[in-house]
Amino acid sequence: MLQFDVSNALPFLPKNWLSSRLDGLINAWNLLERGNGQGGEFTGWVHLPENYDPEELSRLLQTARIIRDQSQVLVVIGIGGSYLGARAVLELLTSPNYNLFCKDTPQIFFTGNTLSSDALNELLDYVRDKDFSVNMISKSGSTTESSIAFLLFRQLLEEKYGRAGARDRIFVTTDRHEGHLRALANQEGYATFSVPASIGGRYSVLTAAGLLPLAVAGLPVQELLDGAAEAMGYLRTPGQDNPAWQYAAARHALYESGKNIELLACYEPSFRFFGEWWKQLFGESEGKDGQGIFPASVEFTADLHSMGQYIQEGERDLFETVVRFAIPSSSCLLNPKPGDRSGLEYLRGKDLRFVNEQARRGTALAHADGGVPNLLLTAQERTAHWVGQLIYFFEYSCGLSGYLLGVNPFNQPGVEAYKKNMFALLGKPGYEERRKILDSRR
């Protein structure tokens, strides 16, 4: 079970920080479990870990083996929730350098999340002389960035393997029934997986959107689901001992006290993209109606030498949530030779993981002394089982937090604003009147 520790935030919290929010938490919990609150039609993820279709999972694992057998590279095309979860888990369970070290599994590159011609051409050039497959992920199939990337890589596949050969190397994850991508996949005969209509993109990492790329990398996706199912088991129990209730209540209390920026931190570099996934999860879920905590992430100890000064002595409008893995995957014993003038003699005989832990403890105390509350979430190990628990913990806490704040945690109306302007400026049919308005503002 994940352990949540609020001790380094208690001086900043009112004495009744949890008890005074129990009524709100009970209401939020009921809305999540019953799926009858705002956006309740998008709460399919709440019970997904124990309801995942075993036949679908078996087909997914079989498809992953096909991709591994025929490809040196898998290009995963998606943006936001269509790729962040998969990349987060891939790097956290392997390494940010996965593509340098993978031997029996394909390299995996993520694209479709940019409109940079330089970035797209670089990857197109790289895979041109390699056997590669594509996993296109989009519920609607109409997202501009991903659609453009899919067009380019699909054309390259057809040039390289012919239309029939390309068909066997394109795998589509989309809505089960609707959308441009579903229609194209049906027309061309691509192998398809679906994201349930009841699960939004940022909550979809435990669907085929996340699981297929992870299975291609040879990761134990069943253990990931089992970990999430274990977290679901203890987080569905209401009460003050529920760590998701504690986290949601502490965040809400700190927000009401003026702490409107949350920094997610970890002392493992492989956690970086987990932070990116977490930022979308909370940013899109809470940032609406003029409300919400701004989610940011930092990598410690690296960012202590860049952002550390601001965190310690800047505006006092932030708090930290630190994710800790109690048992590191490896050890590194420090053994400086006497007289080598390294200045590290005091560390002789100590393991680097011990040094890292003392850096975490010292930082937490310094930041708390400097006016930055610290919340601590501890997982035992950096394994699929514990990462599955982390994913579900943050998803569930996010749902509770949104309802506690009084917003719909499952919509994102503001995301459409830039798209409408971009479509008008690009001349997309149906946006002519908006184009006139934008042209008048030059």
Enzyme catalytic residues: 284, 305, 419
- Cβ atoms of residues 214 and 86 within 8 Å: yes
Dist. CA 280–CA 275, nearest whole Å:
9
3-state secondary structure of 83: coil
Please answer whether residues 398 and 281 qualify as being in contact, where contact means their C-beta atoms are separated by less than 8 angstroms: yes
Go through the chain and tell me how many residues it has: 442
What angle separates helix 415-426 from helix 432-439, to the nearest 10 degrees? Answer: 90
Residue with tokens 């095309």: 77
Say if residues 146 and 138 touch (Cβ distance below 8 Å).
yes
Task: Please state whether the peptide bond connecting residue 301 to the residue before it is cis, i.e. omega within 30 degrees of 0.
Answer: yes
Helix (H, G, I), strand (E, B) or coil at 135: strand
* Contacts of residue 245, Cβ cutoff 8 Å, sequence gap at least 6: 18, 25, 29, 238, 239, 400
Exposed, middle or buried by CB within 10 Å (0-12, 13-18, 19+), for 56? middle
- Match 């970035």 to its residue by tokens: 119
Cβ atoms of 156 and 121 within 8 Å: the answer is no
Is there a contact between 82 and 138 (Cβ–Cβ < 8 Å)?
Answer: yes
Question: By C-alpha distance, which of 296, 292, 322 is closest to 307?
Answer: 296
Report DSSP state, residue 413: T
For every residue of 202-213, DSSP letters joined together read GG-TTSHHHHHH
Sign (positive/negative) of CA torsion 158, 159, 162, 168?
negative
φ and ψ of 407, to 5 deg: -115, 170
